[in-house]
Structure 1
């Protein structure tokens, strides 16, 4: 082996060791990615603003299939955050709107992007989020895209996909609009998803306000 080849091998080994990847490369340990928390600013919540209140903010751990990500049988752990909000109408004692923010870290294995969220359409994101997290949205498998809105989230202009479907909402079957958008912010992907019955069209403005008031701990 030439001296140049030896130097290259040593440089790569030092790089992997410094990045904490040796255990992952040898299969001895999982490679862990932790997202920073994303929430809605307090100023956008409550009766003086959108009327939404925070219900839960928690970290969720996922273990994607390495084979599906193209990295063999190596183990990956992705620690995501999900913050959920609801709007309650006390007069009719029902939930009239829901909103959630999910942050997931960019997964980059030896220079190869591996987080499936990066290349997902809004339709796929909708299926992914409602499939992984227990939310008030119910089954949305027949959601049809009906509109696209423009909003600014975390300082970036973004398309907000609007879907319409019939689902279980507040204990009965109703037609709802669902809103989905995502931006890359720092090392994380931040996803916002909200919904309300179509009989309450004014909630659209509140959903957009929530999207535009998302905060993320990872400052670029």
Structure 2
């Protein structure tokens, strides 16, 4: 996928749920921030992926209830990586993409999580990816496989799709999606690559090499 369109594939996996029950007893802004999830340098070297960008995605909304207005601010992190591969017809492109997205659980007064990502399965996650990346279509699940991310075994959904590049050329791709609960956050991983290359072993290594700090005793 083209570089400028890549971030849209995952940035919109965000939340915002605030209820009148939460707002009645809290003063000031309500803020939640995820810890950054990134890829290890060792895994990048072993897979020939390169870091493209690590940035915050900040969502801020105002909610009114019971005569009060509260500002809710949620900070997510998006880390993007790519590898140059051969794409049919198009030649060499940075078309193998790996993204880590961390988003806070969002709990208030011990209640929650209110982050809807908590309940999303792989099929729902890839639907959000498709909604945000308009060049991705005809998404169909083709399988599942197990992987280890952040020390946990996780089920990875594998989907076939068609990706349209800026020049209008359509390429068959695979999309891999998984999610892990870690500390006070959810970490979502998405990988996209042309179907003409076998990228699964590299994706397994990148999933294994994911890093995420946690301030919680649960992990």
Q: Do Structure 1 and Structure 2 share a fold, with TM-score over 0.5?
A: yes
Residue 15 of structure 2 corresponds to which residue in structure 1?
A: none
Q: How many residue pairs are counted as aligned between the two chains? A: 187
Shift of 1:141: 4.6
1:43/1:169 Cα in 2 relative to 1: closer, same or farther (>3 Å)? Answer: farther
Are 1:88 and 2:91 an aligned pair?
no
The unaligned stretches of length 5 or more in structure 1 are 1-22
Query: Per residue, is there more strand in 1 or in 2?
Result: 2
Q: Is 1:98–1:194's contact at 8 Å kept on the other side of the alignment?
A: yes
Looking at structure 2, the residues matched to 37 and 115 of structure 1 have their Cα atoms a distance apart, in angstroms, of 17
Report how far residue 218 of structure 1 moved: 1.4
Aligned residue in 2 for 1:181: 178
Give the gaps of 5 or more residues in structure 2.
Answer: 1-21
Paired residue for 1:204, among 200, 206, 216?
200
* Higher relative contact order (Cα pairs below 8 Å, separated by 6+ residues): 2
Moved more, 169-178 or 83-92: 83-92
Deviations 1:126-147 (A, max 9, x none): 2335656xxxx65335311110
Cα 1:204–1:214 change in 2 (3 A) is same
Alignment of 1:184-195 (within 5 A): 184-195=181-192
The answer to whether the 8 A contact 2:137-2:162 is kept is: no
Question: 1:137-176 counterparts in 2 under 5 A?
Answer: 138-169=134-165, 171=167, 172-176=169-173
Large movers: runs of 4+ above 6 Å: none
1:35 aligns with 2:34: yes
Deviations 1:22-79 (A, max 9, x none): x953676331100000011000113xx1111000000110236869xxxx97542110
Partner deviation per Cα, 1:144-194 (whole Å, 9 max, x = no partner):
111001000000000000011111147521110000000000001000000
Higher Cα radius of gyration: 1
Q: Secondary structure at the match of 2:138?
A: coil
Identify the match of residue 218 of structure 1 among 196, 214, 219: 214
Given the two structures, how large is their TM-score scaled by the length of structure 1? 0.75
Alignment of 1:94-113 (within 5 A): 94-110=93-109, 111-113=111-113
Q: Is the 8 A contact 2:58 2:74 kept in 1?
A: yes
Residue number in structure 2 paired with 1:60: 57
RMSD: 2.7
Contact kept in structure 2, 1:94 and 1:170, CA below 8 Å = no
Contact residue 24 and residue 30 of structure 1 kept, 8 A: no
Larger CA deviation: 149-158 vs 83-92: 83-92
